[in-house]
Structure 1
């Protein structure tokens, strides 16, 4: 990881609330810390408050209550022009009649730089995003990924304390999304930037983030590193939203120390108790942690394959089990399980997680 940029600043939300009209609560008393030089993603379904939170950092929305700090400076009441942040929008917002270099230079013209320095900074910004040879082109002559990089360069040349991304990859196809997200992450790490990034794409969030903040119903459901959220979800919502999870009703039979014995039909498994007591619970199981065995003498519970789909690198199965249907992913594509066949169903030792019922 590169050292922190000298201009990069932390972002702090202290009991921040945003209310529209009389009673529409878009963000409900959230506390949030973004360390300088890190990339933090706000993740959640539509309407959860993530974009409103981003816009409050930018000064495009004003907090109804609470305090917002950038570095040590209280910016709660400051307009967007006084906050030293830059934002990359979903639509890129490039001027179609301007060349790429003119687009990147645009903000610099209002920052007190002379012509020569403006051009020098703009060219350096294009070099950072790998577009040095594209300065004379119009946006319409670029691919979607190249236009996105121009938007990033335009934001970077202003040397903001905080760089904001609002669903930056949603207009790109899957392959290009993967490429551009890697480029954004590389630029952020190389330059030591503070970045707050909004997306509803779980895979994107896992790939780029130092920390993920999962939002639900205008509040923070859980925050942590990608690995923490994937492997230790706080509840069923986070388990299902970060990646994909089968949420299976189960019974915690006994708890001994930090270990619980869990029962599902006649199947038993020991796993981390996560401070839960005996009684009803749910088991969150990733599709890749499901085990299906054609040997009916194998340990597990009886189940039946009801759907099998070949997707190239793996097989996807829908399975009928004593508790209902379940989705499983297996790497073996050479000997797929047949639809209608009986199997023994079990779960990997590592991966399944208990969450409250």
Structure 2
């Protein structure tokens, strides 16, 4: 059962458009529902509209058309100061001359709390992010990950209805990103917070989200759980953006009882038709779903590149339709560049997408 904080509120976009100047459409007529107590990630390439969407929730931008609700309240025209929302920025935005405790307490001073309650809340906030005892330090005395946690604590102590994250991990190295994203997810789940999270990192989105909203060209390309988007992308764009995918041109030869037989040259494979009719299409195949063998059924191909990355081998394979990227767990007996092989697909995993 999902725990929902008493203050956590839903977020609803109804036909929201944001236009800059005369004709720059940053967000184009989107409908979006974020359930209370969930973490929803807005994911997409630069310029797709995800940060503008986040800033409209925060009240830092106003919609040109449509309505935004936080809970049952229409906040479409309310300034940021009148919304019960906190935001954690990419740059942390800590005051360098203030101690950690002063940074965390800063927003509380303007929220009507007395000195004693302000201190108690700040101490509790530091405890939530694992920084008990760090209150007297300056930001310059902390690591990047610790500074980010101070920024999270500063937002948490205000107990907002909605907590917003704008690319919060982009300034951290890979190992620290993984650690801090796990901490953010754990805090969100333990406290039952409503969180809207913006990133362009697919792995990060898959790891932290209850639901992912993939944005493209100012609109929503697809929304769903991480598993739904990874295993059943609605388009070639989503397939390629959510994790790596080989997009291979194919021909749907026949469809029967929801199953399609596809042809790639002389190779045949059966998979779910997903409502597509016979004709040209593409099949999206994850690198881990490519099968490479020395003989047997499949498509003839040649190993172009072989790269050892520790836990697996990565291969670039040349076939008649072009290049294919594949990963295999067998690092003990790697295939050499130039080797002639046969390639095929795992029974489950490949999915059809429109051409």
Q: Are 2:219 and 1:219 equivalent residues in the alignment? A: yes
Q: Compute the displacement of 1:124 (Å).
A: 0.4
Aligned match of 2:328: 330
Aligned match of 1:61: 61
**Cα shift readout 1:110-158 (whole Å, capped 9, x = no counterpart):** 0000001100000000000010110000000001110000000000000
Q: Separation in 1 of the partners of 2:314 and 2:72?
A: 50
Q: Separation in 2 of the partners of 1:64 and 1:2?
A: 35
Aligned match of 2:174: 174
Aligned match of 2:347: 349
Aligned match of 1:203: 203
Q: Separation in 2 of the partners of 1:266 and 1:333?
A: 31
Q: Separation in 2 of the partners of 1:181 and 1:128?
A: 14
Q: Separation in 2 of the partners of 1:131 and 1:344?
A: 54
Structure 1 residue ranges without an equivalent (≥5)? none
Decide whether the 8 Å contact of 1:163 with 1:194 is kept in 2.
Answer: yes
Q: Compute the displacement of 1:2 (Å).
A: 5.0
Q: Separation in 2 of the partners of 1:100 and 1:337?
A: 53
Secondary structure in 2 aligned to 1:104?
helix
**Cα shift readout 1:203-223 (whole Å, capped 9, x = no counterpart):** 000000000000000000000
Give the 5 Å matches for 1:32-111.
32-111=32-111
Aligned match of 2:28: 28
TM-score by length of 2: 0.99
Q: Separation in 1 of the partners of 2:297 and 2:149?
A: 52
Decide whether the 8 Å contact of 1:48 with 1:219 is kept in 2.
Answer: yes
Q: Compute the displacement of 1:248 (Å).
A: 0.1
TM-score by length of 1: 0.99
Aligned match of 1:306: 304
Q: Separation in 1 of the partners of 2:130 and 2:315?
A: 42
Q: Compute the displacement of 1:3 (Å).
A: 1.5
**Cα shift readout 1:242-267 (whole Å, capped 9, x = no counterpart):** 00100000000000011000101111
Decide whether the 8 Å contact of 1:2 with 1:190 is kept in 2.
Answer: no
Aligned match of 2:313: 315
Decide whether the 8 Å contact of 1:43 with 1:200 is kept in 2.
Answer: yes
Give the 5 Å matches for 1:120-139.
120-139=120-139
Structure 2 residue ranges without an equivalent (≥5)? none
Q: Compute the displacement of 1:85 (Å).
A: 0.1
Decide whether the 8 Å contact of 1:2 with 1:191 is kept in 2.
Answer: no
RMSD, aligned CA: 0.6
Q: Separation in 2 of the partners of 1:132 and 1:82?
A: 31
Q: Separation in 2 of the partners of 1:3 and 1:76?
A: 28
Decide whether the 8 Å contact of 1:57 with 1:68 is kept in 2.
Answer: yes
Decide whether the 8 Å contact of 1:235 with 1:355 is kept in 2.
Answer: yes
Q: Are 2:126 and 1:153 equivalent residues in the alignment? A: no
Secondary structure in 1 aligned to 2:130?
coil
Q: Compute the displacement of 1:299 (Å).
A: 1.1
Secondary structure in 1 aligned to 2:31?
strand
Secondary structure in 1 aligned to 2:133?
helix
Q: Which runs of 4+ in 1 moved over 2 A?
A: none
Q: Separation in 2 of the partners of 1:258 and 1:183?
A: 42
Q: Separation in 2 of the partners of 1:314 and 1:280?
A: 34
Secondary structure in 1 aligned to 2:104?
helix
Aligned residues: 355
